[in-house]
Amino acid sequence: MKKLTPNAHIRILSPSSSIDHIGGFEANRASKERLEALGFQISFSSHYNEHDMLGSASIESRIADLHEAFLDDSVDVILTTIGGFNCNELLPYLDYELIKKHPKLFCGYSDTTALLNAIYAKTGLKTYMGPAYSSFKMETLQDYQTESWLTALSQTSYDLTPSQEWGSNAWYLPDAELIFHQTEWKVYNHGQAEATALGGNLSTFSLLRGTPYAPQDTDYLLFLEEAEEDDYFDFDRALAALLQAYPEPKAVLIGRFPKECEMTEELLLYILAKYPVLKTIPVIYDMDFAHTQPLFTVTIGATVSVDTKTMTVHVEEN
């Protein structure tokens, strides 16, 4: 699969929530302008304006947009508009052979977790958990986010490093109060590990259990995070179910919780302490991915090496 190059063509599409659900084209024009300023060509899928009762488009339209993007030889990168709640509806209807024959860099986060892991599971192609199209209109903290995205999509070997500061803010509102904190990745249990990266949004990744679209790797580590609508009770029971389906992770890397989850460090440590396996492998939390800002980009399906003593997380795609 060709890596990101200057002047690459990026196709924006909405496999879950539509662009109208987040204000429409004009409300997100700043994302287009920022990506164009980086030198990229931007195009939009045929049905990006379609918007139904659930804030999405029909399954047929979303599948058509995905297949069209993969078939278009001029498209180098497929970038999702935002997350949502219904990517998993598409999984039985995707032509995975078509996708495998026309590989593209595919990036998104949150609900896109279902597609990222299913495409990897069904085709072996690596995918990218990172910012969506709408993420690029964020002003503050954008430098870290953009740099990580560019690095992951253009290089086959890179390190994940902490941001300087972070926030859990409604940054997309013009009058939102912005509160920032110093970033600190924290260790629950020390260790070293090397395995294949799986996961993303915990609630969405959980939807793949028991389906043909769940990755079947035997040597894996898990990236896990939760969205604003999932509180600490949701995380507690979803983690239990996940560790029953994936009982032998080599490491667990946890993204910061948005403030709406009401997760405290005391609660998180109490939940993690329930699982003996987490006392035998590297576990890091409060990392820069998911539903706080900014977020790094990491390759699903890549080999990730973790060393908590040196606090290094290295990604190798080859």
The residues carrying an active-site annotation are 110, 225, 291
State how far the Cα of 130 lies from the Cα of 124, in Å rounded to an integer: 19
Task: Assign 130 to helix, strand or coil.
Answer: coil
The CA-to-CA distance between both ends of the chain, in Å, stands at: 11
Residues with Cβ < 8 Å from 254, sequence gap 6 or more? 224, 225, 268, 283, 284, 285, 286, 287
Contact 127, 300 (CB under 8 A): yes
Strands 303-307 and 165-166: unpaired
Tell me which residue has tokens 């990168």.
77
Residues with Cβ < 8 Å from 261, sequence gap 6 or more? 226, 228, 230, 231, 232, 235
State how far the Cα of 166 lies from the Cα of 142, in Å rounded to an integer: 11
Contact 117, 198 (CB under 8 A): yes
